[in-house]
Amino acid sequence: MRAFRAVPVAAVALAACGCLTAPPLDNPVVVRSAGGIENPVLVSPGQPTPASYREVFEKVVDVLDDYFELDAVNPYAGTVTTKPRIAPGYEQFWKPGNPDPRNRLFATLQSVRQVARAEVRAGERGGYIVYLVVDKELEDLPQPSQARGGAIFQESSSVDRQVEVVGPDATADTVWFKVGRDYAFEQTLLRRVRACK
């Protein structure tokens, strides 16, 4: 009789800590901190003037230039695009970027690069609106390369070795695909842009 009562209690305890407590993986929810800055952000409120536009646009260019190599800067259209940069992981602790520990760990374990684009336009009620997006891209490799640790699992025997000439990295045949946005890095950049006076 005692064993019969213990079985339902154990079944209820196992069911409570099973898959019912985990969020569904097919419908993830983006969780952002409550202290975040709205994107786009209003900068330099007041009456728009050519001098204030130039100041805001140069501040956006200066902030992006600290982290990225700029690709196209068009002050007439109000757009700034950057070249892709490899996102730093924990092994590159001295490089700025990836303030979120999860994104920093992800960049440590995977080949991730970031591309930023910004748009500056006049606000409806004065000032300038700065819209900034940082996209994350993941490298799609058909198989691990030897430069990235491919020597761990060798398919050929180790007796027949071939000498390879080390040259420039042939990354032209790699494919990058978008995996989302880096919201934490966007917040860091927007805080610096908003500090513009």
Q: Which residues have C-beta within 8 Å of that of residue 73, sequence separation ≥ 6?
A: 61, 79, 80
Helix (H) or strand (E) holding 135: strand 128-140
The structural architecture, per CATH, of the domain 39-144+181-197 is: 2-Layer Sandwich (3.30)
Cβ-contact 118, 68 below 8 angstroms: no
148's tokens: 């990235």
Q: Which residues pair with 169 in a beta bridge?
A: none
**HSE value, Cβ hemisphere, 13 Å, CA-based, for 149:** 3
Q: CB under 8 Å to 120, separation ≥6 — which residues?
A: 53, 56, 57, 60, 78, 79, 80, 128, 129, 130
Q: Which two structure tokens, joined as six digits, stand for 126?
A: 């004065």
Q: Are 120 and 130 in contact (CB under 8 A)?
A: yes
Over its length of 197 residues, how does the chain's per-residue pLDDT go in tens digits? 555 555 555 555 555 555 445 555 555 555 554 556 677 888 877 778 888 889 999 999 999 999 999 999 999 999 999 999 998 888 888 888 778 888 888 888 888 899 999 999 988 888 888 999 999 999 887 766 555 444 444 555 555 566 666 665 555 557 888 988 988 899 889 988 888 65
Q: Which residue ranges make up each domain of the chain?
A: 39-144+181-197
User: Facing residues of 85 across strands?
Assistant: 114
